[in-house]
Amino acid sequence: GAGVSQSPRYKVAKRGQDVALRCDPISGHVSLFWYQQALGQGPEFLTYFQNEAQLDKSGLPSDRFFAERPEGSVSTLKIQRTQQEDSAVYLCASSLVPGQGVYEQYFGPGTRLTVT
């Protein structure tokens, strides 16, 4: 079946622009995670949704970052007034059940954001 998809795959933004990154999780997956991966580093947690509820946003680096999942399926990560330090790959992952358990997270291909 279809995996996690993300769009766009690549995004170039001028500093100060707003961007919106989309994630389509695997159908029926309750949990959805966003991670940020800087060049040469491992992914770092940004935020977590269980259905439409955002239960953990402790990893969002500033109030310029905002995520939503209004109908419990597709999610959008929005970054306002982008800065150069926002340049990274943004990964989305989904899993069948909330949080714990043997149903692990499946990752999308990521969106590479470059802020110039």
The residues binding another protein (CB under 8 A) are 4, 31, 33, 35, 40-45, 48, 50, 55-56, 59, 91, 93, 95, 98-102, 104-110
CB of 98 to another protein, least distance (A): 7
Beta-carbon contacts of residue 100 (< 8 Å; ≥ 6 apart): none
CB nearer to another protein: give 71 or 104: 104
CB of 63 to another protein, least distance (A): 17
Residue with tokens 């969002």: 60
Contact 4, 24 (CB under 8 A): yes
Cis peptide bond prior to 8, omega within 30° of 0: yes
CB nearer to another protein: give 3 or 16: 3
Contact 100, 37 (CB under 8 A): no
31 token code pair? 């949990």
CB of 88 to another protein, least distance (A): 12
CB nearer to another protein: give 66 or 106: 106
CB nearer to another protein: give 16 or 62: 62
CB of 84 to another protein, least distance (A): 19
Nearest to 81 by CA among 67, 60, 65: 65
